[in-house]
Chains A and B, each alone.
Chain A
Amino acid sequence: MAARLIGEAGSALLHSYSQILFAESRWLGASVALASFVHPRHGAMGLLGALLSNALALALGLDRASIRRGIHGYNGVLLGLALGSLFALDPAGLLLLAMGCLLCVMLTAALGYALGQYFGLPALSAPFTLATWLSVLAALSLGGLRPAPVASSWFVGLLPALEPAWLWLPFQRLAAALFQTDAVTGLLLAAGLLLHSRVSVLLMAFGLLCAQLVHEFIGLRAELLEGYAFALSSMFSALALGGIFVVPSRSSFVLAGAGAVLSVVLLAASEAVLPAQLLPLTLPYTLVVWGLLLCLRLRGAEARGPRVAWLFAGSPEANLYQAREQQRRARVERLRIGLPFAGRWKVSQGVDGAHTHVGPWRFAFDFQALGQGGGLHRGAGLAAEDYFAFGMPVLAPADGTTWSCESAIADNPVGGINLERNWGNHVILQHSPGFFSCLAHLKKGSVRVVPGQPVQKGQLLGLCGNSGRSPFPHLHVQFQTQPALGAPALPFSFSDLLLWEDAKKRFLLEARPAEGAVVSNPERLAQPTRFWPGLSASMPGLLRQQWALCFHGKAETWTFGIDPLGRTFLESAPVRTRLTFRTSAEAFITLGLDGSRRTGLWLVGSLLQEVPFIDEPQGVEWLADGSDARMELECRPSEVRVRVERAPGLRFAGLRVGALARERYEVRLEAGQRIGVTRGGKPFLMARPEPLIVPTLEVLAGG
């Protein structure tokens, strides 16, 4: 019991230190603490600050889990370090520190709630800044406080003179995070951070570099440059905007640089505004991060560039992996919109089309049925019936309920248009609250559904016609947030479609086909799940299957399991890798792959990102989203072959920085019998299911 309490207290303390660098790691916390103790007085004040603020938070009855995570402690550490550099460590100073910590805790709780609730912003170290200011301002009136003596570090005299000076400058700057100027502090910090997250170090260095370049360009005052605030603002702005609150990517690095520069500018400005006693501390960085984050959060759904990380995962690298997994899971769980017809149709007008897909109705598609010979109509195309599209079934693009329909408008002759009832005969479906679809220009009298009738994806709604603003028989498809006819169209993508290019067929998991593209729905396999290990479709209950293989000379077994969240996975032993996947009627999708990269399971999992279950014995090419591997898929009822051509990249902390020679792999999944991988044509891996062997006890004779 006591041990557990001590353990939790220790956690809270160490996490308070690591939260300064936005991490929740005890090792990092320890190294930050150690770094702070390079100047023992500062370090002691910092420690006291941490202890006091955590104790006060506990006393106030705040959430224990967040205390353990260090959320209520890091501002206290910073406060201790700041006050420690200003005032002496005597009872008066300690009292001020205590009051300051209480203020910190109050402000963290209050600001954290208010900002989070109303703006979706983190409190950052604003509580620390405000608490320090209030303490300093109060100290002006409190005469009993003595200023701090000159800081002395343990290492003075022990180390040789640090030459050349410019080499140690970055570490000196880094030490500003703890309100110190020793290169050794910075060195300790950097070491700890490097172990925890390389991208963080990279971002901080980048921010510093940008700020330094600004100085070279504009020229800041020397005092400003030497002060803590310069390095502090630039480094932390870059870190926060580059990888902590934003998913790391090339554009987030640009944002980080911009943030660093902006914070330096704001710093210069604040110097002019603030009275002499109030140091800018972390004000510029806080304001810059709040401002830019708020802007990012207010962007529209289609914005490109940096993506806000909605849940901080612990480090920029973890953010990136989590964002990727979320994207993949979102795609799986999102509504998959299918093409609303059978056979091959051509996109006669796409998004931003020249004729009618403009303004509020930009995101719409017009389709016309394509004949085998490549034409849109038989013969001369003088009558509407000559067009292949006329009278063809129009199917529901996704599950939903019929909202409204119209079926009595006459079809135009070829070339005629009806401008009064320009949508013509139509069906509007509701797929979910605020998500409707509209299929228009249907044939007179052909609508088969009535308002209120539930429809399934692929169900017949009506026949394609030539009513409304339609000179040639075609189908208009758009999605909208309101059910009214003519409501503005919503951006969307079709899922799982075949794109027919001259010689090749390409399978696209998600696409907005361009004008002139020929598309069709793929044919589905009858029984797709037979070939992937796991729950067998024919065996009810949880009969687990184990797979055995020999990879790189070592025996490996894969066991199937289901985790508490209901996700299916395969786990390898003895070296642990876990492949979390999901199998639906439409595709097999890898949700996550973690653990050792040296197992056969890792290889198979990284090659098979997504396998759609489509009937393509001749082979079809597709690009799995977000991947640079070229893949070709051949699907038969009892065997699936995936050919992957990819270049293994040199990765630095999850980001690609280079590429090696392209490798060709072929994965063969044979109906529950074998999973084989060949590399460059030669066999590389072969996994087979093992019958479950019940161990028997052997009694050895003799003695």
Chain B
Amino acid sequence: MKKRYESPTLTRQVGGVTNKFGLGLGGKAHDRIDGVSITELRERYGSPLFIYSERTLKEKHRELQDAFSHRYPRFRHAWSYKTNYLKAICRSFQRLGSWAEVVSMMEYEMARSLGVPGRQIVFNGPYKPYESLKRALGDEAIVNIDSFDELEDVERIAGELGRTVKIGLRFNMSLGAQMSWDRYGFNLESGAAAEAIERAQSSGRVTVAGYHAHLGTFVYDPEHYRTAAVKLVDFHGTMKTKYGVRLEYLDLGGGFASRNRLRGSYLSTADLTPSFERYAEAICEPLLAGFAPAEAPLLILETGRAMVDEAGSLVSTVISTKRLNNGKRGVVLDAGVNLLFTAFWYDHEVLPVIERSGPPEDQVLYGPLCMQIDVVREQLRLPRLERGDPVLIRPVGAYNNTQWLQFITLRPNIVMVGENGEVSLIRERETVEYLQQREVLPPWLRD
């Protein structure tokens, strides 16, 4: 077989002291995902291509269950649909026993269409239009209320439904140095939370059954969760005595960090990302100590990113290369921020699929869009990438398939590699027809 031509490189050697950063990553190829050849997948399904590993998904789910199920008697994971609402992913979590967590009517309908019963759906978010709220409460979903206005809506709906409705309330609080987002929910310290409970409990038609406290996203320090748990336990002690609140569930949201590296972060993800065990210790210890055994509420977690990020990878092909003015090598891929929205704040891992043996070189990875912001990696040390080389970008499972753009490109195929090695297409590549399906030409513009 004819060998590919590799151009010689001229590297300046500094004699004496060796380069303390070493040679960096060699050209080790990452050709397989769960035993399936990426090259084969690329040939069959084209490029770019999203690949999901069911095995990784299940492993992560098991890890979460292991960490929490032994530390607290009543625990439930609710899959955060906004992180990835591909049917196959949602169904996988449903099969594993997770409930569903949605923040919009669209996601609510998705969950219901997958057969998730109303009682297993957690409905959060600041925007709950009246009809969607009514539907959710009618289905006996777990609804966490965000504002006094929403509470008013709930009271009206209770009247319309003709029965008492159970709701949860979302809280935000100070977490020491950091403040959990105060635009969502009722604040604990200011007394708004107590006011909300008083109002709900005294309305006669509404019962408060749960508390919801989603602290933030990509929370690196598990101690924030401990602080939140302790505060909520204290708060409930007061609420129980004053307003007779019987707590059925406590939802501590999501926010666990995944093994993705934030831009500007220096340490490797292995050092930074806490394990599920550490989060579990921080959350379960205060809850177990703070609630009497008979009153211990159900602990719900909406872990999204940490569950699915590592399960998703993206295979992309180098379209062209150029030498930039500052001497760096620029590489254009067929996948950019249109498919990797999270590239705005992450430095994804980019790995070569085909073996390359040259010395690593500084390269910049651009996407296919003709926009300045379309940069996948500002800096990457890899053996020189040439036109046609496939690269593996990961982890991309979280938020990319929900926040991807339809700007000037059609979204590509998505496949899932099952635990048994079977590969299946879970979302077909889009066509222009599909894109323009909903459009109608006004009468005066038609032929």
Contact of B296 with A458 in the complex, beta carbons under 8 Å: yes
Q: Is B293 an interface residue, CB under 8 A from the partner?
A: yes
Q: List 3 tightest A-B contacts by C-beta distance, closest first.
A: A458-B293, A343-B69, A372-B62
B119 at the interface (CB under 8 A from A): yes
Chain B min CB distance to A645 (Å):
27
Residues in chain B near residue A456, CB distance under 8 A = 292-294
A342 touches B70 (CB 8 A): yes
Within 629-684 of A, Cβ neighbours of B (below 8 Å) are at: 636-637
Would you call B73 and A342 a contact (CB within 8 A)? Answer: yes
The stretch among A10-18, A120-128, A387-395 that forms the contact with chain B is A387-395
Q: List 29 A-B contacts (CB under 8 A).
A: A342-B69, A342-B70, A342-B71, A342-B73, A343-B73, A369-B70, A371-B66, A372-B62, A372-B65, A372-B66, A372-B69, A373-B62, A388-B66, A388-B70, A391-B281, A392-B71, A393-B70, A393-B284, A396-B293, A448-B289, A456-B292, A457-B294, A458-B73, A458-B296, A459-B293, A460-B288, A521-B73, A523-B73, A526-B248
Chain B contacts for A395, CB-based, 8 A: 73, 293
Chain B 72-89, CB-CB to A under 8 Å as 1, else 0, gives: 111000000000000000
Enumerate chain A interface residues (CB-CB to B < 8 A): 341-345, 369, 371-373, 388-389, 391-393, 395-396, 448, 456-460, 521, 523, 526, 585, 636-637
**Nearest residue, chain B, Cβ from A448:** B289
Q: A343-B70, A373-B62 are in contact. List 18 more A-B contacts (CB 8 A).
A: A342-B69, A342-B73, A343-B73, A345-B70, A371-B62, A372-B65, A372-B69, A388-B66, A388-B70, A393-B71, A393-B72, A395-B293, A456-B293, A458-B294, A459-B293, A460-B289, A523-B73, A636-B119
Within B77-122, the residues touching A (CB, 8 Å) are 119
Looking across the interface, which residue of chain A has its beta carbon closest to that of B63? Answer: A372
Q: In this complex, what residue of A is CB-closest to B73?
A: A342
- Closest residue of chain B to A341 (Cβ to Cβ) is B70
Verify A344–B69 contact, CB threshold 8 A. Answer: yes
Chain A residues, Cβ within 8 Å of B61: 372
- From residue B127, how far is it (CB to closest CB) to chain A in Å? 28
Interface string of B296-313 (1 = CB under 8 A from A): 100000000000000000
Per DSSP, chain B at the interface is helix
Q: Provide the bound-state CA to CA distance between A414 and B74, in Å.
A: 30
Please give the distance in Å from B276's CB to the nearest CB on chain A. Answer: 11
Cα A396 to Cα B73 in complex, Å, equals 13
CA distance A342 to B294 in the complex (A): 14
Once the chains are docked, how many angstroms separate the CA of A526 from the CA of B66? 24
Given contacts A388-B70, A460-B289, contact A585 B294 (CB under 8 A): yes
A345 vs B69: C-alpha distance in the bound complex, in angstroms? Answer: 10
- Nearest-neighbour CB distance to chain A for B287, whole angstroms, equals 10
In the complex, A636 Cα to B65 Cα: how many Å?
22
Partner of B74, one of A345, A388, A523, A636: A523
Residues of chain A within 8 A of B69, CB atoms compared: 342-344, 372
Query: Looking at A369, A372, A459, A523, which has the most chain B CB atoms within 10 Å of its CB?
Result: A372
- Neighbouring A residues of B72 by C-beta, 8 Å: 342, 393
Task: Kindly provide the distance from the CB of A362 to the nearest chain B CB, expressed in whole angstroms.
Answer: 28
Main secondary structure of the interface of A (DSSP, over half): loop
CB contact list, B119-155 vs A, under 8 A: 119
Tell me, in angstroms, the Cα distance from A263 to B1 when the chains sit together.
104
Q: How far is the CA of A342 from the CA of B74 in the complex (A)?
A: 8
Q: Given the complex of chains A and B, what is the CA–CA distance between A460 and B61 in angstroms?
A: 26
How far apart sit A230 and B418, CA to CA, in the bound complex (Å)?
Answer: 81
Rounded to whole angstroms, the CA-CA distance of A391 and B70 in the bound complex is 10
List the interface of chain B (C-beta within 8 A of A): 61-62, 65-66, 69-74, 119, 248, 281, 284, 288-289, 292-294, 296
B281 contacts across to A, CB distance below 8 A: 391
Report the Cα distance A342→B65, complex, angstroms: 12
Set of chain B residues within 8 Å of A392, measured between Cβ atoms: 70-71
Which residue of B is nearest A526, CB measured? B248
List the A residue with the shortest CB-CB distance to B246: A526
Chain B nearest CB from A325 CB (Å) reads 28
**Residue with the greatest number of chain A CB neighbours at <10 A, chosen from B62, B72, B293:** B293
Residues of A close to B65: CB separation below 8 A: 372
Closest A residue to B120 using CB positions: A617
In the assembled complex, the CB of A317 is this many whole angstroms from the nearest CB of chain B, namely 41
Neighbouring B residues of A373 by C-beta, 8 Å: 62
Q: Which residues of A contact B71 (CB under 8 A)?
A: 342-343, 392-393
Chain A residue nearest in CB terms to B248: A526
Q: Which residues of B contact A448 (CB under 8 A)?
A: 289
Chain B hits for A637, CB < 8 A: 119
A585 and B293 alpha carbons, distance in the complex (Å): 13
Taking the closest CB of chain B, its distance from the CB of A35, in whole angstroms, is 61
* CB-defined contacts of A343 to chain B, threshold 8 Å: 69-71, 73
Cα of A499 to Cα of B248 in the assembled complex, Å: 25
Instruction: Please name the residue on chain B nearest to A538 by beta carbon.
Output: B164
Contacts of A458 in B (CB 8 A): 73, 293-294, 296
Q: Which A residues lie within 8 Å of B293 (CB)?
A: 395-396, 456-459
For the complex, what is the distance from the CA of A389 to the CA of B61, rounded to whole Å?
Answer: 18
Closest chain B residue, CB of each to CB of A456: B293
The docked-state distance in angstroms from the alpha carbon of A456 to that of B284 is 18
Q: CA separation between A55 and B187, bound complex, in Å? A: 86
Residues of B within 8 A of A389 (CB): 70
Q: CB-CB < 8 A to A460: which residues of B?
A: 288-289
User: In the complex, A270→B71 CA distance in Å?
Assistant: 71
Q: How far is the CB of B247 from chain A (nearest CB, A)?
A: 10
C-alpha gap A389/B66 in the complex (Å): 10
Minimum Cβ distance to chain A for residue B291 (Å): 10
Contact partners of A585 in chain B: CB under 8 A:
294
Give Cα A391–Cα B280 distance, bound, in whole angstroms.
12
Q: How far is the CA of A388 from the CA of B65 in the complex (A)?
A: 11
- Once the chains are docked, how many angstroms separate the CA of A341 from the CA of B284? 13
Cα-based distance from A499 to B52 in the complex (angstroms) = 34
User: Least Cβ distance of A303 to chain B in Å?
Assistant: 35
Cα distance A113–B248 when bound, in Å?
58
- Tell me, rounded to whole Å, the shortest Cβ–Cβ distance linking A670 to chain B: 14
Nearest residue in B to A459 (C-beta to C-beta)? Answer: B293
Bound form: Cα–Cα A523–B293 in Å? 12
Bound form: Cα–Cα A475–B202 in Å: 47
Instruction: Determine the distance from Cα of A213 to Cα of B61 in the docked complex, in whole angstroms.
Output: 71
Q: Which residues of A contact B292 (CB under 8 A)?
A: 456, 459
What residues of B have a CB within 8 angstroms of the CB of A341 in the complex?
Answer: 70
Bound together, the chains give a CA A588 to CA B240 distance in angstroms of 27
In the bound complex, residues from chain B placing their C-beta under 8 Å from that of A636 are: 119
Closest chain B residue to A395, Cβ basis: B293
Q: How far is the CB of B201 from chain A (nearest CB, A)?
A: 14
What CA separation (Å) do A313 and B293 show in the bound complex?
41
Measured in the bound complex, the distance between the Cα atoms of B120 and A401 in whole Å is 38
Q: Report the nearest B residue to A460, measured CB to CB.
A: B288
The residue in chain A whose Cβ has the minimal distance to the Cβ of B67 is A388
Find the residue from B61, B281, B288, B296 having the highest chain A CB count within 10 A: B288
Give the shortest distance, in Å, between B159 (CB) and chain A (any CB): 19
CA gap between A636 and B248 in the complex, in Å? 15
Q: How distant is the Cα of A342 from the Cα of B61 in the complex, in angstroms?
A: 18
Which of the listed residues A371, A389, A396 has the most CB atoms from chain B within 10 Å of its own CB? Answer: A371
Q: Which residues of A contact B119 (CB under 8 A)?
A: 636-637
Tell me, in angstroms, the Cα distance from A345 to B70 when the chains sit together: 9
Complex Cα–Cα for A460 and B294 (A):
12
Q: Once bound together, how far apart are the Cα atoms of A699 and B66, in whole Å?
A: 73
Instruction: State the Cβ distance, B92 to closest chain A Cβ, in Å.
Output: 15
A389 to B71, CA, bound (A): 10
User: Within the complex, what minimum Cβ distance (angstroms) separates A129 from chain B?
Assistant: 59
Most buried by B among A343, A392, A396, A460: A343
Measured CA separation A371–B61 after assembly (Å): 11
Least CB distance from A454 to B in Å reads 12
Q: In whole angstroms, what is the CA distance A345 to B66 when docked?
A: 11
- Please give me the residue from chain B that is nearest to A464 by CB atom: B70
Residues of B within 8 A of A457 (CB): 293-294
Distance from A616 Cβ to chain B, minimum over Cβ atoms (Å): 13
A343 to B284, CA, bound (A): 13
In angstroms, Cα B114 to Cα A51, docked, is: 84
> In the assembled complex, which residues on chain B have CB atoms less than 8 Å from the CB atom of A521?
73
